[in-house]
């Protein structure tokens, strides 16, 4: 399933990139998303966010596959201050998300965009689970955007 999403920050690209590669920001933004385990690592443009999230809002058909919680590892490999290879893997689960995250200058603002794909290799229900994980990713980015907007305004 294709995923496209974008949010707009009222800040220059360099400021948004600095925020997205700041471990303190990534911890704050991820903590706002209800996690029971969190480990953030940022090394030279390589961002890794390892989480465990409860599956309290997952439909019954998906909970049979997902379990009571989901372990996921989000990775961003920034090749410069504007483009990153992006992935989310769920160890032990038959699904993943991959794509490209870009920061695009929009005057004095920045568009933070994602273009990628969710894949789940389960016959019959794979498409439904792809939609579910795509929706969860979009929701997570909207929360990250809300925290990011405050962060860029100085609320750290």
Four-residue CA torsion sign, 107, 2, 116, 25: positive
DSSP 125: T
153: Cβ contacts below 8 Å, ≥ 6 apart: none
Reported confidence tier of residue 50, pLDDT bands at 50, 70, 90: very high
In tens, the pLDDT along 4-15 reads 999 999 999 999
* Structure confidence by residue, pLDDT tens digits, 117-141: 999 887 767 778 888 888 889 999 9
**Residue 151: burial class (beta carbons within 10 Å; 0-12, 13-18, 19+):** buried
């Amino acid at each position: 399933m294709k995923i496209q999403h974008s949010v707009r920050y009222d800040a220059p690209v360099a400021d948004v990139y600095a925020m997205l590669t700041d471990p303190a920001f990534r911890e704050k933004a991820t903590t706002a998303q209800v996690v029971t385990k969190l480990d953030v690592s940022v090394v030279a443009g390589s961002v890794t966010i390892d989480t465990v999230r409860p599956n309290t809002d997952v439909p019954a058909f998906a909970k049979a596959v997902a379990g009571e919680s989901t372990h996921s590892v989000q990775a961003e490999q920034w090749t410069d201050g504007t483009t990153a290879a992006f992935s989310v893997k769920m160890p032990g689960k038959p699904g993943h998300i991959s794509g490209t995250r870009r920061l695009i200058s929009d005057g004095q603002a920045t568009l933070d965009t994602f273009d990628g794909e969710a894949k789940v290799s389960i016959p019959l229900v794979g498409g439904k689970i792809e939609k579910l994980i795509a929706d969860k990713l979009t929701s997570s980015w909207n929360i990250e955007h809300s925290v990011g907007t405050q962060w860029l305004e100085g609320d750290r």
